[in-house]
């Protein structure tokens, strides 16, 4: 089954929200500065959405691990 582009985008965003919260918490823990942690989080969020989106689209074109769909002989 082929995925539509917008599905990959929504998956990218939901994944990044989780990752961005993690990045913020780690940055805050390491630096102790909210402003610095927020700036790291912002760059992380934007750049990794784009990277994940293109990664998903690339893998959608690779046949590895996919099974060819066969049409049903009949429909009910």
> pLDDT by residue (tens digit) across 18-76?
988 999 999 999 999 999 999 999 998 888 888 888 988 898 888 888 777 777 766 66
pTM over 0.85: no
| C-alpha pair distances (Å), 75 with each of 68, 70, 71 | 19, 13, 10
In this predicted structure, what is the pLDDT of residue 75? 67
Q: Given a cut of 80, is residue 15 above it in pLDDT?
A: yes
In this predicted structure, what is the pLDDT of residue 69? 73
> How far apart, in whole angstroms, are the C-alpha atoms of residue 46 and residue 55?
15
């Amino acid at each position: 089954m082929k995925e539509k582009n917008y599905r990959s985008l929504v998956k990218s965003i939901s994944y990044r929200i989780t990752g961005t919260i993690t990045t913020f918490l780690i940055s805050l823990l390491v630096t102790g500065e909210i402003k610095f942690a927020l700036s790291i989080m912002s760059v992380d969020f934007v750049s990794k959405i784009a990277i994940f989106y293109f990664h998903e689209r690339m893998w959608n074109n690779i046949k590895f691990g996919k099974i060819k769909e066969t049409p049903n002989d009949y429909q009910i």
